[in-house]
Amino acid sequence: MQRSPRPRRPAALAGTVVATGVVAAGAAVVGAPDLFGLAGSRPFVWSVPFRLATAAGLGGLAALVGLAGLRWRRVLPPALALAVVAAGSLATTGVRGLSAGELPPARAGDVTVLAANVLHGQADPAALTRLVVDGGADVVSLPESDLALAEDLAARVEAATGTPVQVFHLRDRGRSRFGTALLVSARLGEYRATGELTDGVKAVVTAAPVSGTGPVLAAAHTAAPVPDLLEPWAVEVRAVADWCAATPGAIVAGDLNATLDHPGLRLRGSCVDAGAQTGTGARGTWPARVPAPLGATIDHALADGNAWRAVGSRVEDVPGSDHRALLSRWRPVT
């Protein structure tokens, strides 16, 4: 009786190693394209904001492959590779924080900032007023607002608190009414518009204190990373982050249409992100119709970390808007 030839173990092992390497590399690119410099390129520019969903997908695929491994053991190493990449993506999300957040009691010198995209003025002004008043906001950034909504909100807040509110507004390029508004409470003193970044960003309002030591402020709305605008989007997001790093005492808030994984928001120098510092850095602010942990964190508050540290943040629903709002509290660095 003739014996059957022995299986070629070295060849089988080599095949398993190669397959595992290919699966691990592919999963790593899908799960963390930012590590390979691909987060600003198609299609990853649109997938990287949804880390939790991607991690869940990779984890589910790992489970399916692992079940197949009960019959074909050679697929177990690739399943393990998928699971490791999924766990790494989940860990990054966990470190940034999925919490809705909270604000500690304000102290003298603190500055509280609200960033709320109002969806072309459709956000409920009464709800916005409650957010400003209950949150103790000194600064309000309103992307996609017209001047009428900004002035109405300022009047409502003044009526509720007795404190005057300055209003600055700049229309989007190419739009007749809507743009970005910046509201500043008189608690911070008098401010003047400075006109910075207006040549490089879709709609941004910058203001500086006329006197005193208040923060230099910006309310910003960058281009969205849609196919026809990927180049200006990248330039605008980088411009906002660079301004934050280069401007002593700066605080900037708004809809930046980017997450911390996108190349434009790879923060440099002293610029820091409130959500990342306080545990809401992975809680989705858009689209509001999906559960917050599954959304994209594209609304931010950034500041010069040499002058300010974030001591709390909170992600809030805004009736009438497709974005959630971000409240952040900043404390002077001493």
Q: What is the pLDDT of residues 77-118, one digit of tens each?
A: 777 777 888 888 888 888 899 999 999 999 999 999 999 999
Instruction: Give pLDDT < 50 ranges for the chain.
Output: 1, 6, 8
The region, left, alpha or beta by phi > 0 then psi within -120 to 50, assigned to residue 248 is beta
What pLDDT was estimated at residue 12? Answer: 53
What pLDDT was estimated at residue 112? Answer: 98
Length of the chain, in residues: 334
What pLDDT was estimated at residue 242? Answer: 96
Q: What angle do CA 332, 312, 131 make, to 5 degrees?
A: 105
What pLDDT was estimated at residue 63? Answer: 81
DSSP letters, 197-222, are TTTTSSEEEEEEESSSSPPEEEEEEP
What pLDDT was estimated at residue 23? Answer: 57
What pLDDT was estimated at residue 71? Answer: 59
- 18-36 tens-digit pLDDT: 555 555 566 677 777 887 8
